[in-house]
Amino acid sequence: MNIDQIGYFLDLVVTRSINQSAARLYLTSQGVSKSLAQLEKEIGFALFVRTSKGLELTEEGTRFARYAEEFWGSYCDFEEKVSHMGRCLDPDGGEAFNIVAAPLFSVSTIMARALADLRELNGDMTFDIVEVGAFDMGAYAQALPEEQITRTVFLSSVPDYRPDLLAWDERFKVVELGVFPMKACVSALNPLARRKSISCEDLAREMLTCYNEPVLQDVLHHMLDAYGEPRIASRTSGVNQAAYLPEAVFITAGLSPNLPGEGVVAMPIRDAVNIHLVAIACDTEETARVIDAFVRAIR
Q: What is the pTM of this model?
A: 0.64
Note down pLDDT in tens along the chain; length 299 residues: 778 888 889 989 989 999 888 888 878 888 888 889 989 988 889 999 988 888 999 999 998 988 888 887 776 766 655 555 444 444 444 457 889 988 877 656 788 788 888 877 766 678 888 888 888 888 888 888 888 888 899 999 999 999 888 878 888 999 999 888 888 888 888 899 899 999 999 999 998 888 777 888 889 889 998 998 888 877 765 544 544 567 888 888 877 555 556 678 888 999 889 999 999 999 988 889 889 988 888 87
Compute the distance between CA of residue 295 and CA of residue 175 in angstroms, rounded to an integer. Answer: 10
Angle CA 84–143–100, to nearest 5: 70
CB 95 within 8 A of CB 101: no
CB 47 within 8 A of CB 36: yes
Compute the distance between CA of residue 50 and CA of residue 47 in angstroms, rounded to an integer. Answer: 10
- The region that residue 228 occupies, defined by phi over 0 for left and psi between -120 and 50 for alpha, beta otherwise, is left
pLDDT of residue 261: 62
Q: Given the DSSP bridges, would you call strands 248-252 and 127-131 parallel, antiparallel or unpaired?
A: unpaired
N-to-C CA span, the chain: 49
pLDDT of residue 25: 82
Q: Measuring CA to CA, which residue among 48, 40, 43, 39 is closest to residue 18?
A: 48
* Strand ranges across the sheet with 127-131: 127-131, 97-101, 152-159, 274-281, 173-181
Task: For the beta carbon of residue 65, count every other beta carbon within 10 angstroms.
Answer: 17
